[in-house]
A and B are shown apart, each in its own frame.
Chain A
Amino acid sequence: MSEVVIQAEGLTRYFGRKKAVDSLSLSVRRGCVYGFLGRNGSGKTTTIRMLLGMLHSTRGRSALLGCDSESLTPEVKARVGYLSEGHPLFTGMRIDEHADFLRNYYPTWDRPWFDAALARFRLDRKRRIGTLSRGERAQVALALCLAPQPELLILDDPAMGLDPVVRRDFLESIVEMIQQEGRTIFYSSHILGDVERVADRIGIIEEGVLRADCGLDTFKENVRRVRCRFRDGQRPEISVPGLLRVRWLESEATLTLASYEESRLDQLRELGAEEVEPLDAGLEDLFIDYTAPLSGRK
Protein backbone atom coordinates (compact mmCIF):
# COMPACT_ATOMS: atom_id res chain seq x y z
CA MET A 1 0.00 0.00 0.00
CA SER A 2 1.37 3.45 -0.94
CA GLU A 3 2.61 5.92 1.62
CA VAL A 4 0.23 8.43 3.20
CA VAL A 5 1.48 11.94 2.44
CA ILE A 6 -1.34 13.98 3.99
CA GLN A 7 -2.88 12.85 7.23
CA ALA A 8 -5.42 14.70 9.37
CA GLU A 9 -7.11 13.34 12.47
CA GLY A 10 -9.96 15.16 14.15
CA LEU A 11 -8.73 18.53 12.91
CA THR A 12 -10.83 21.25 14.48
CA ARG A 13 -10.50 24.99 14.41
CA TYR A 14 -12.55 27.71 16.06
CA PHE A 15 -12.44 31.41 15.23
CA GLY A 16 -13.93 32.90 18.35
CA ARG A 17 -17.14 30.95 18.79
CA LYS A 18 -17.41 29.99 15.15
CA LYS A 19 -16.32 26.48 14.33
CA ALA A 20 -14.58 26.79 10.95
CA VAL A 21 -13.42 23.17 10.71
CA ASP A 22 -15.02 20.39 12.69
CA SER A 23 -13.25 17.09 13.46
CA LEU A 24 -11.89 16.69 9.96
CA SER A 25 -10.07 13.43 9.29
CA LEU A 26 -8.63 12.43 5.96
CA SER A 27 -5.65 10.74 4.44
CA VAL A 28 -4.20 11.19 0.98
CA ARG A 29 -1.85 8.62 -0.46
CA ARG A 30 1.16 9.22 -2.65
CA GLY A 31 0.31 9.73 -6.31
CA CYS A 32 -3.30 10.68 -5.62
CA VAL A 33 -4.90 13.79 -7.09
CA TYR A 34 -7.30 14.80 -4.35
CA GLY A 35 -10.02 17.33 -5.10
CA PHE A 36 -11.02 19.18 -1.96
CA LEU A 37 -14.42 20.67 -2.66
CA GLY A 38 -16.58 23.07 -0.79
CA ARG A 39 -18.53 26.26 -1.18
CA ASN A 40 -16.97 29.62 -0.34
CA GLY A 41 -16.42 29.84 3.41
CA SER A 42 -16.84 26.11 3.97
CA GLY A 43 -13.42 25.74 5.61
CA LYS A 44 -11.17 24.72 2.70
CA THR A 45 -8.53 27.40 3.17
CA THR A 46 -8.56 27.01 6.95
CA THR A 47 -7.95 23.28 6.54
CA ILE A 48 -5.10 23.86 4.09
CA ARG A 49 -3.48 26.45 6.34
CA MET A 50 -3.67 24.02 9.26
CA LEU A 51 -2.11 21.30 7.12
CA LEU A 52 0.74 23.69 6.28
CA GLY A 53 1.15 24.76 9.90
CA MET A 54 0.17 28.38 9.22
CA LEU A 55 -2.84 28.10 11.52
CA HIS A 56 -2.90 26.18 14.76
CA SER A 57 -5.62 23.61 15.20
CA THR A 58 -7.84 23.97 18.23
CA ARG A 59 -8.01 20.17 18.43
CA GLY A 60 -6.67 17.27 16.43
CA ARG A 61 -3.45 16.92 14.50
CA SER A 62 -2.20 16.71 10.96
CA ALA A 63 0.98 15.74 9.16
CA LEU A 64 2.53 16.31 5.75
CA LEU A 65 5.00 13.78 4.39
CA GLY A 66 5.12 12.23 7.84
CA CYS A 67 6.08 15.47 9.58
CA ASP A 68 3.75 17.12 12.08
CA SER A 69 2.17 20.22 10.53
CA GLU A 70 2.91 22.35 13.59
CA SER A 71 6.64 21.77 13.19
CA LEU A 72 7.34 21.34 9.49
CA THR A 73 11.07 21.25 8.90
CA PRO A 74 12.67 23.26 6.06
CA GLU A 75 13.49 19.94 4.35
CA VAL A 76 9.82 18.96 4.30
CA LYS A 77 8.68 22.44 3.23
CA ALA A 78 11.09 22.24 0.29
CA ARG A 79 9.25 19.11 -0.89
CA VAL A 80 5.82 20.75 -0.71
CA GLY A 81 4.63 23.24 -3.31
CA TYR A 82 1.91 25.62 -2.17
CA LEU A 83 -0.14 27.90 -4.37
CA SER A 84 -2.26 30.07 -2.15
CA GLU A 85 -5.61 31.62 -2.92
CA GLY A 86 -5.46 34.70 -5.17
CA HIS A 87 -1.91 33.98 -6.44
CA PRO A 88 -0.11 36.48 -4.19
CA LEU A 89 3.32 37.41 -5.50
CA PHE A 90 5.82 40.19 -4.88
CA THR A 91 4.34 42.70 -7.28
CA GLY A 92 7.34 45.02 -7.33
CA MET A 93 9.61 42.34 -8.78
CA ARG A 94 10.05 41.21 -12.35
CA ILE A 95 9.29 37.57 -13.14
CA ASP A 96 12.97 36.63 -13.35
CA GLU A 97 13.76 38.47 -10.10
CA HIS A 98 10.99 36.58 -8.36
CA ALA A 99 12.29 33.30 -9.72
CA ASP A 100 15.85 34.16 -8.66
CA PHE A 101 14.60 35.01 -5.19
CA LEU A 102 12.86 31.65 -4.77
CA ARG A 103 15.63 29.67 -6.44
CA ASN A 104 17.96 30.58 -3.58
CA TYR A 105 15.87 28.50 -1.22
CA TYR A 106 15.07 25.45 -3.35
CA PRO A 107 17.99 23.16 -4.17
CA THR A 108 15.77 21.22 -6.57
CA TRP A 109 14.78 24.29 -8.61
CA ASP A 110 14.50 23.25 -12.26
CA ARG A 111 15.51 26.28 -14.29
CA PRO A 112 15.05 24.75 -17.78
CA TRP A 113 11.59 23.60 -16.74
CA PHE A 114 10.70 27.09 -15.48
CA ASP A 115 11.96 28.69 -18.70
CA ALA A 116 9.92 26.22 -20.72
CA ALA A 117 6.83 26.99 -18.63
CA LEU A 118 7.24 30.74 -19.26
CA ALA A 119 7.67 30.07 -22.97
CA ARG A 120 4.53 27.95 -22.96
CA PHE A 121 2.61 30.81 -21.33
CA ARG A 122 4.24 33.30 -23.73
CA LEU A 123 5.41 35.42 -20.83
CA ASP A 124 8.38 37.74 -21.00
CA ARG A 125 10.61 37.13 -17.97
CA LYS A 126 11.42 40.84 -17.78
CA ARG A 127 7.84 41.85 -17.12
CA ARG A 128 7.02 43.29 -13.74
CA ILE A 129 4.55 41.14 -11.82
CA GLY A 130 2.45 44.16 -10.91
CA THR A 131 1.69 44.73 -14.60
CA LEU A 132 0.45 41.20 -15.31
CA SER A 133 -3.22 40.39 -15.83
CA ARG A 134 -4.92 38.13 -13.31
CA GLY A 135 -4.64 35.13 -15.62
CA GLU A 136 -0.97 35.78 -16.34
CA ARG A 137 -0.26 36.16 -12.67
CA ALA A 138 -1.93 32.82 -12.01
CA GLN A 139 0.28 31.24 -14.65
CA VAL A 140 3.43 32.75 -13.17
CA ALA A 141 2.40 31.64 -9.68
CA LEU A 142 1.82 28.11 -10.96
CA ALA A 143 5.18 28.02 -12.74
CA LEU A 144 6.98 29.34 -9.64
CA CYS A 145 5.20 26.80 -7.48
CA LEU A 146 6.10 23.88 -9.73
CA ALA A 147 9.67 24.86 -10.62
CA PRO A 148 11.18 23.27 -7.47
CA GLN A 149 9.55 20.00 -8.65
CA PRO A 150 7.68 19.38 -5.38
CA GLU A 151 6.50 15.87 -4.66
CA LEU A 152 3.39 17.19 -2.93
CA LEU A 153 1.47 20.06 -4.42
CA ILE A 154 -1.19 21.95 -2.48
CA LEU A 155 -3.32 24.25 -4.62
CA ASP A 156 -5.79 26.46 -2.80
CA ASP A 157 -8.56 27.38 -5.23
CA PRO A 158 -6.02 28.18 -7.98
CA ALA A 159 -8.64 29.10 -10.58
CA MET A 160 -10.53 31.50 -8.33
CA GLY A 161 -11.19 34.89 -9.88
CA LEU A 162 -10.29 33.82 -13.41
CA ASP A 163 -12.77 34.20 -16.24
CA PRO A 164 -14.00 30.95 -17.87
CA VAL A 165 -11.65 31.11 -20.87
CA VAL A 166 -8.56 31.84 -18.79
CA ARG A 167 -9.66 29.27 -16.22
CA ARG A 168 -9.93 26.57 -18.86
CA ASP A 169 -6.50 27.38 -20.23
CA PHE A 170 -5.06 27.50 -16.71
CA LEU A 171 -6.56 24.10 -15.86
CA GLU A 172 -5.16 22.62 -19.04
CA SER A 173 -1.76 23.89 -17.95
CA ILE A 174 -2.22 22.25 -14.59
CA VAL A 175 -3.27 18.94 -16.15
CA GLU A 176 -0.25 19.06 -18.42
CA MET A 177 2.20 20.02 -15.75
CA ILE A 178 1.11 17.74 -12.97
CA GLN A 179 1.23 14.52 -14.89
CA GLN A 180 4.51 13.61 -13.29
CA GLU A 181 4.77 10.14 -11.89
CA GLY A 182 4.32 9.88 -8.15
CA ARG A 183 3.34 13.51 -7.58
CA THR A 184 0.55 14.00 -5.09
CA ILE A 185 -1.84 16.89 -5.55
CA PHE A 186 -4.28 18.35 -3.08
CA TYR A 187 -6.51 20.65 -5.10
CA SER A 188 -9.13 22.76 -3.41
CA SER A 189 -11.92 24.37 -5.38
CA HIS A 190 -15.54 25.40 -5.20
CA ILE A 191 -16.07 24.45 -8.84
CA LEU A 192 -16.57 20.73 -9.33
CA GLY A 193 -16.01 20.93 -13.07
CA ASP A 194 -12.43 22.07 -12.44
CA VAL A 195 -11.66 19.25 -10.07
CA GLU A 196 -13.44 16.63 -12.17
CA ARG A 197 -10.84 16.96 -14.88
CA VAL A 198 -7.87 16.31 -12.62
CA ALA A 199 -8.97 14.48 -9.48
CA ASP A 200 -9.24 10.78 -8.84
CA ARG A 201 -10.48 11.22 -5.28
CA ILE A 202 -12.62 13.94 -3.76
CA GLY A 203 -13.48 15.27 -0.35
CA ILE A 204 -16.47 17.53 0.14
CA ILE A 205 -16.41 19.91 3.07
CA GLU A 206 -19.51 21.75 4.18
CA GLU A 207 -19.72 24.12 7.12
CA GLY A 208 -16.40 22.74 8.33
CA VAL A 209 -17.49 19.11 8.24
CA LEU A 210 -16.04 16.65 5.75
CA ARG A 211 -19.22 15.13 4.35
CA ALA A 212 -17.72 12.95 1.65
CA ASP A 213 -14.31 11.42 1.14
CA CYS A 214 -14.27 8.91 -1.69
CA GLY A 215 -13.20 8.15 -5.23
CA LEU A 216 -14.69 10.37 -7.91
CA ASP A 217 -16.42 7.40 -9.56
CA THR A 218 -17.78 6.22 -6.23
CA PHE A 219 -19.28 9.66 -5.68
CA LYS A 220 -20.94 9.58 -9.09
CA GLU A 221 -22.39 6.13 -8.37
CA ASN A 222 -23.60 6.99 -4.89
CA VAL A 223 -25.15 10.37 -5.41
CA ARG A 224 -27.98 10.20 -7.91
CA ARG A 225 -31.02 12.13 -9.01
CA VAL A 226 -34.35 10.32 -9.30
CA ARG A 227 -37.55 11.59 -10.89
CA CYS A 228 -40.86 10.41 -9.37
CA ARG A 229 -44.28 11.10 -10.84
CA PHE A 230 -47.25 10.92 -8.47
CA ARG A 231 -50.94 10.93 -9.21
CA ASP A 232 -52.34 14.40 -10.11
CA GLY A 233 -52.63 16.64 -7.09
CA GLN A 234 -50.57 14.34 -4.87
CA ARG A 235 -47.49 15.63 -3.05
CA PRO A 236 -46.70 13.10 -0.35
CA GLU A 237 -44.10 13.69 2.36
CA ILE A 238 -41.05 11.92 0.97
CA SER A 239 -38.82 10.28 3.50
CA VAL A 240 -36.16 7.88 2.26
CA PRO A 241 -32.65 7.33 3.63
CA GLY A 242 -29.98 9.60 2.10
CA LEU A 243 -32.41 12.15 0.75
CA LEU A 244 -30.53 15.39 0.09
CA ARG A 245 -32.98 17.52 -1.82
CA VAL A 246 -36.49 17.49 -3.30
CA ARG A 247 -37.71 19.78 -6.04
CA TRP A 248 -41.42 19.72 -6.88
CA LEU A 249 -42.98 20.62 -10.20
CA GLU A 250 -46.73 19.99 -9.88
CA SER A 251 -46.95 16.27 -9.11
CA GLU A 252 -43.43 15.47 -10.23
CA ALA A 253 -40.58 15.40 -7.74
CA THR A 254 -36.88 15.39 -8.54
CA LEU A 255 -34.93 13.91 -5.66
CA THR A 256 -31.21 13.90 -5.01
CA LEU A 257 -30.15 10.88 -3.04
CA ALA A 258 -26.90 10.05 -1.32
CA SER A 259 -26.05 6.37 -0.71
CA TYR A 260 -28.10 5.48 -3.77
CA GLU A 261 -29.23 1.86 -4.15
CA GLU A 262 -31.80 0.21 -6.43
CA SER A 263 -33.93 -0.53 -3.36
CA ARG A 264 -34.58 3.21 -2.96
CA LEU A 265 -36.69 3.09 -6.12
CA ASP A 266 -38.93 0.44 -4.56
CA GLN A 267 -39.27 2.55 -1.43
CA LEU A 268 -40.42 5.47 -3.57
CA ARG A 269 -42.95 3.27 -5.36
CA GLU A 270 -44.28 2.26 -1.94
CA LEU A 271 -44.85 5.96 -1.23
CA GLY A 272 -47.24 6.05 -4.20
CA ALA A 273 -45.01 7.06 -7.09
CA GLU A 274 -46.45 5.89 -10.39
CA GLU A 275 -43.22 6.36 -12.29
CA VAL A 276 -39.71 6.26 -10.83
CA GLU A 277 -36.74 6.96 -13.05
CA PRO A 278 -33.05 7.48 -12.17
CA LEU A 279 -31.56 10.44 -14.05
CA ASP A 280 -28.09 11.13 -15.36
CA ALA A 281 -27.14 14.36 -13.64
CA GLY A 282 -23.92 16.25 -14.13
CA LEU A 283 -21.39 16.28 -11.34
CA GLU A 284 -21.78 20.00 -11.00
CA ASP A 285 -25.51 19.56 -10.27
CA LEU A 286 -24.88 16.74 -7.82
CA PHE A 287 -22.25 18.76 -6.04
CA ILE A 288 -24.59 21.76 -5.75
CA ASP A 289 -27.31 19.54 -4.28
CA TYR A 290 -24.79 17.90 -2.00
CA THR A 291 -23.42 21.15 -0.66
CA ALA A 292 -26.61 23.23 -0.73
CA PRO A 293 -27.30 25.08 2.52
CA LEU A 294 -29.10 22.87 4.99
CA SER A 295 -32.19 25.09 4.84
CA GLY A 296 -32.44 24.42 1.11
CA ARG A 297 -32.72 20.70 1.68
CA LYS A 298 -35.69 18.57 2.34
Chain B
Amino acid sequence: MWPIIKKEIRENARYLLGAFVIFLLILDFGAFDRGWVLLGIAMLLNGQHASWQNTTYYVAAGGMEGSWNSACLLLAGAIAWGQVYQERRRKTWPLLVHLPIPRSRMVFAKVLAGLLMYFIVCLPLALLDIARLNTPGVWPGPIYVSMFFPMLTYFLAGAMFYLTVFLSAFRWARWYATKWLPLMAAIPVYIVCECLNRPFSFWEVSTGTPYMSLTVVVLTPLSLVFVIWAIREQARTREY
Protein backbone atom coordinates (compact mmCIF):
# COMPACT_ATOMS: atom_id res chain seq x y z
CA MET B 1 0.00 0.00 0.00
CA TRP B 2 2.76 2.41 0.95
CA PRO B 3 4.16 2.94 -2.58
CA ILE B 4 0.71 4.06 -3.78
CA ILE B 5 0.32 6.37 -0.78
CA LYS B 6 3.75 7.85 -1.49
CA LYS B 7 2.89 8.25 -5.18
CA GLU B 8 -0.34 10.09 -4.34
CA ILE B 9 1.35 12.47 -1.93
CA ARG B 10 4.25 13.09 -4.30
CA GLU B 11 1.90 13.84 -7.19
CA ASN B 12 -0.30 16.16 -5.15
CA ALA B 13 2.32 17.90 -3.02
CA ARG B 14 2.17 21.18 -4.93
CA TYR B 15 -1.63 21.24 -4.84
CA LEU B 16 -1.51 20.54 -1.10
CA LEU B 17 0.81 23.48 -0.60
CA GLY B 18 -1.61 25.67 -2.54
CA ALA B 19 -4.52 24.33 -0.51
CA PHE B 20 -2.63 25.05 2.70
CA VAL B 21 -2.11 28.68 1.70
CA ILE B 22 -5.76 29.11 0.64
CA PHE B 23 -6.94 27.44 3.83
CA LEU B 24 -4.70 29.76 5.84
CA LEU B 25 -6.16 32.77 4.04
CA ILE B 26 -9.72 31.58 4.63
CA LEU B 27 -9.03 31.22 8.33
CA ASP B 28 -7.21 34.50 8.40
CA PHE B 29 -10.16 36.08 6.63
CA GLY B 30 -12.33 34.79 9.44
CA ALA B 31 -9.83 35.76 12.07
CA PHE B 32 -9.87 39.38 10.97
CA ASP B 33 -13.45 39.79 12.03
CA ARG B 34 -14.59 38.64 8.58
CA GLY B 35 -12.89 41.66 7.11
CA TRP B 36 -11.44 41.98 3.68
CA VAL B 37 -9.12 39.24 2.61
CA LEU B 38 -6.77 41.64 0.88
CA LEU B 39 -6.53 43.74 3.99
CA GLY B 40 -5.76 40.60 5.95
CA ILE B 41 -3.00 39.61 3.53
CA ALA B 42 -1.54 43.10 3.51
CA MET B 43 -1.44 43.17 7.26
CA LEU B 44 0.07 39.73 7.40
CA LEU B 45 2.80 40.88 5.05
CA ASN B 46 3.40 43.96 7.18
CA GLY B 47 3.64 41.89 10.33
CA GLN B 48 0.67 43.67 11.91
CA HIS B 49 -1.14 40.45 12.68
CA ALA B 50 -0.52 40.64 16.41
CA SER B 51 -1.98 44.11 16.72
CA TRP B 52 -5.39 42.77 15.76
CA GLN B 53 -5.52 40.18 18.46
CA ASN B 54 -8.34 41.90 20.31
CA THR B 55 -10.78 41.34 17.49
CA THR B 56 -9.41 37.99 16.37
CA TYR B 57 -11.67 34.95 16.35
CA TYR B 58 -10.52 31.42 16.86
CA VAL B 59 -11.88 28.23 15.38
CA ALA B 60 -11.24 26.45 18.67
CA ALA B 61 -13.35 28.95 20.54
CA GLY B 62 -16.26 28.55 18.15
CA GLY B 63 -15.88 32.00 16.64
CA MET B 64 -15.45 30.90 13.04
CA GLU B 65 -16.89 27.46 12.70
CA GLY B 66 -18.41 28.40 9.36
CA SER B 67 -15.07 29.22 7.76
CA TRP B 68 -13.42 26.13 9.18
CA ASN B 69 -16.29 23.90 8.13
CA SER B 70 -16.39 25.29 4.58
CA ALA B 71 -12.64 25.00 4.22
CA CYS B 72 -12.68 21.38 5.45
CA LEU B 73 -15.48 20.54 3.02
CA LEU B 74 -13.79 22.22 0.08
CA LEU B 75 -10.45 20.65 0.78
CA ALA B 76 -11.82 17.13 1.34
CA GLY B 77 -13.96 17.30 -1.79
CA ALA B 78 -11.15 18.71 -3.94
CA ILE B 79 -8.69 16.04 -2.83
CA ALA B 80 -11.14 13.18 -3.44
CA TRP B 81 -12.32 14.42 -6.82
CA GLY B 82 -8.78 15.28 -7.92
CA GLN B 83 -7.45 11.85 -7.03
CA VAL B 84 -10.02 10.12 -9.22
CA TYR B 85 -10.04 12.67 -12.01
CA GLN B 86 -6.30 12.81 -12.55
CA GLU B 87 -6.12 9.04 -13.15
CA ARG B 88 -8.98 9.32 -15.61
CA ARG B 89 -7.45 12.29 -17.41
CA ARG B 90 -4.07 10.57 -17.79
CA LYS B 91 -5.77 7.22 -18.54
CA THR B 92 -3.64 5.59 -15.86
CA TRP B 93 -6.38 3.54 -14.19
CA PRO B 94 -5.43 0.44 -16.24
CA LEU B 95 -1.84 0.85 -15.09
CA LEU B 96 -2.95 0.84 -11.45
CA VAL B 97 -5.53 -1.90 -11.90
CA HIS B 98 -2.98 -4.17 -13.52
CA LEU B 99 -0.59 -3.90 -10.56
CA PRO B 100 -0.25 -7.34 -8.96
CA ILE B 101 -2.27 -6.47 -5.87
CA PRO B 102 -5.99 -6.84 -5.18
CA ARG B 103 -7.95 -3.95 -6.66
CA SER B 104 -9.62 -3.11 -3.37
CA ARG B 105 -6.20 -2.71 -1.76
CA MET B 106 -5.10 -0.38 -4.54
CA VAL B 107 -8.22 1.76 -4.15
CA PHE B 108 -8.03 1.84 -0.36
CA ALA B 109 -4.39 2.89 -0.61
CA LYS B 110 -5.61 5.89 -2.61
CA VAL B 111 -8.30 6.57 -0.01
CA LEU B 112 -5.81 6.39 2.85
CA ALA B 113 -3.48 8.69 0.93
CA GLY B 114 -6.34 11.15 0.41
CA LEU B 115 -7.23 11.17 4.09
CA LEU B 116 -3.59 11.55 5.00
CA MET B 117 -3.30 14.56 2.66
CA TYR B 118 -6.43 16.04 4.23
CA PHE B 119 -4.92 15.65 7.69
CA ILE B 120 -1.57 17.04 6.53
CA VAL B 121 -3.24 20.30 5.52
CA CYS B 122 -5.79 20.58 8.32
CA LEU B 123 -3.87 19.37 11.31
CA PRO B 124 -1.12 22.03 11.36
CA LEU B 125 -3.74 24.76 10.93
CA ALA B 126 -5.82 23.37 13.79
CA LEU B 127 -2.74 23.11 16.00
CA LEU B 128 -1.74 26.64 15.03
CA ASP B 129 -5.18 27.90 16.00
CA ILE B 130 -5.06 26.08 19.32
CA ALA B 131 -1.58 27.35 20.00
CA ARG B 132 -2.66 30.93 19.29
CA LEU B 133 -5.62 30.56 21.59
CA ASN B 134 -3.42 29.17 24.34
CA THR B 135 -0.94 32.01 24.14
CA PRO B 136 -1.09 33.81 27.52
CA GLY B 137 -2.98 37.07 27.40
CA VAL B 138 -4.87 36.30 24.21
CA TRP B 139 -8.12 34.70 25.31
CA PRO B 140 -9.99 36.73 27.94
CA GLY B 141 -11.32 33.76 29.91
CA PRO B 142 -10.74 30.16 30.93
CA ILE B 143 -10.01 27.59 28.22
CA TYR B 144 -11.93 24.32 28.30
CA VAL B 145 -11.30 21.17 26.29
CA SER B 146 -14.92 21.36 25.10
CA MET B 147 -14.00 24.54 23.22
CA PHE B 148 -12.14 22.37 20.71
CA PHE B 149 -15.10 20.08 19.98
CA PRO B 150 -16.59 22.09 17.11
CA MET B 151 -13.26 22.16 15.36
CA LEU B 152 -12.78 18.43 15.85
CA THR B 153 -16.29 17.46 14.76
CA TYR B 154 -16.16 19.45 11.53
CA PHE B 155 -12.68 18.14 10.87
CA LEU B 156 -13.92 14.56 11.15
CA ALA B 157 -17.07 15.36 9.18
CA GLY B 158 -14.77 16.62 6.40
CA ALA B 159 -13.10 13.20 6.39
CA MET B 160 -16.51 11.57 5.96
CA PHE B 161 -17.30 14.03 3.18
CA TYR B 162 -14.02 13.00 1.52
CA LEU B 163 -15.16 9.36 1.46
CA THR B 164 -18.52 10.20 -0.08
CA VAL B 165 -17.00 12.45 -2.77
CA PHE B 166 -14.42 9.78 -3.57
CA LEU B 167 -17.15 7.18 -3.95
CA SER B 168 -19.26 9.51 -6.10
CA ALA B 169 -16.38 10.39 -8.40
CA PHE B 170 -15.13 6.81 -8.58
CA ARG B 171 -18.34 5.00 -9.45
CA TRP B 172 -19.85 4.93 -12.90
CA ALA B 173 -23.38 6.24 -13.25
CA ARG B 174 -25.49 7.10 -16.22
CA TRP B 175 -26.91 10.30 -14.71
CA TYR B 176 -25.21 13.06 -12.73
CA ALA B 177 -28.05 13.01 -10.23
CA THR B 178 -27.45 9.37 -9.37
CA LYS B 179 -23.68 9.67 -9.61
CA TRP B 180 -23.60 12.08 -6.67
CA LEU B 181 -26.10 10.10 -4.61
CA PRO B 182 -23.44 8.80 -2.16
CA LEU B 183 -23.05 12.39 -0.89
CA MET B 184 -26.27 11.75 1.02
CA ALA B 185 -24.28 9.51 3.36
CA ALA B 186 -22.44 12.57 4.67
CA ILE B 187 -25.66 14.27 5.78
CA PRO B 188 -26.17 12.34 9.07
CA VAL B 189 -22.59 13.17 10.01
CA TYR B 190 -23.29 16.88 9.70
CA ILE B 191 -26.48 16.54 11.70
CA VAL B 192 -24.43 14.84 14.41
CA CYS B 193 -21.99 17.72 14.28
CA GLU B 194 -24.82 20.16 14.82
CA CYS B 195 -26.15 18.10 17.72
CA LEU B 196 -22.75 17.75 19.36
CA ASN B 197 -22.20 21.46 19.17
CA ARG B 198 -25.49 22.32 20.86
CA PRO B 199 -25.58 23.30 24.55
CA PHE B 200 -25.72 20.45 26.99
CA SER B 201 -29.45 21.03 27.56
CA PHE B 202 -30.03 19.75 24.05
CA TRP B 203 -29.10 16.28 25.28
CA GLU B 204 -31.42 16.30 28.30
CA VAL B 205 -34.29 13.84 28.16
CA SER B 206 -36.85 16.45 29.16
CA THR B 207 -36.29 18.44 25.99
CA GLY B 208 -37.25 15.52 23.81
CA THR B 209 -34.29 16.04 21.47
CA PRO B 210 -32.05 13.14 22.57
CA TYR B 211 -34.13 10.69 20.56
CA MET B 212 -33.44 12.61 17.42
CA SER B 213 -29.75 13.03 18.21
CA LEU B 214 -29.37 9.39 19.19
CA THR B 215 -30.92 8.38 15.88
CA VAL B 216 -28.35 10.35 13.94
CA VAL B 217 -25.59 9.10 16.21
CA VAL B 218 -26.58 5.58 15.15
CA LEU B 219 -26.85 6.64 11.52
CA THR B 220 -23.30 7.98 11.46
CA PRO B 221 -21.44 4.69 11.93
CA LEU B 222 -23.95 3.06 9.61
CA SER B 223 -23.21 5.65 6.93
CA LEU B 224 -19.50 5.17 7.42
CA VAL B 225 -19.75 1.40 7.13
CA PHE B 226 -21.96 1.75 4.06
CA VAL B 227 -19.55 4.11 2.30
CA ILE B 228 -16.52 1.94 3.02
CA TRP B 229 -18.38 -1.17 1.86
CA ALA B 230 -19.52 0.64 -1.29
CA ILE B 231 -15.98 1.79 -2.12
CA ARG B 232 -14.74 -1.78 -1.71
CA GLU B 233 -17.50 -3.16 -3.93
CA GLN B 234 -16.88 -0.51 -6.56
CA ALA B 235 -13.16 -1.28 -6.50
CA ARG B 236 -13.85 -4.97 -7.07
CA THR B 237 -16.56 -4.71 -9.70
CA ARG B 238 -16.07 -1.37 -11.46
CA GLU B 239 -14.91 -1.39 -15.07
CA TYR B 240 -11.74 0.42 -16.05
Contact = CB atoms under 8 A, between A and B. Distances in A.
B3 A104 contact: yes
Given A49-B240, A84-B91, A106 B11 contact: no
A89 B92 contact: yes
Contacts of B92: 88-90
Contacts of A101: 3, 6-7
B177 interface: no
A106 B240 CA distance: 21
Nearest to A82: B98
B114 to A, nearest CB: 16
B240 A54 contact: yes
Interface residues of A, number: 26
A84 B239 contact: no
Contacts of A97: 10
B101 interface: yes
Interface in B73-128: 90-92, 94-95, 97-102
Nearest to A54: B240
B56 to A, nearest CB: 38
A149 to B, nearest CB: 13
Nearest to B106: A105
A93 B10 contact: yes
A92 B100 contact: no
Contacts of B99: 77, 102, 105
B94 A82 contact: yes
A54 B90 CA distance: 17
A90 B94 contact: no
A163 interface: no
Contacts of B240: 49, 54-55
A88 B91 contact: yes
A162 interface: no
Contacts of B100: 74-75, 77-78, 105-106
A49 B113 CA distance: 27
A91 interface: yes
B7 A77 contact: no
Contacts of B2: 104
Contacts of A202: none
B10 A84 contact: no
A52 interface: yes
B84 to A, nearest CB: 15
A92 B11 CA distance: 6
A86 interface: yes
A159 B239 CA distance: 25
Contacts of A88: 90-92, 94-95
A106 B90 CA distance: 23
A54 B99 CA distance: 12
A80 to B, nearest CB: 8
19 contacts: A49-B94, A49-B239, A52-B98, A54-B239, A55-B240, A56-B239, A74-B100, A84-B95, A85-B91, A86-B91, A88-B90, A89-B95, A92-B10, A92-B11, A101-B6, A101-B7, A105-B3, A105-B99, A105-B101
Q: 3 shortest A-B CB distances, which residue pairs?
A: A78-B100, A74-B100, A88-B91
Interface of B: 2-3, 6-7, 10-11, 90-92, 94-95, 97-102, 239-240
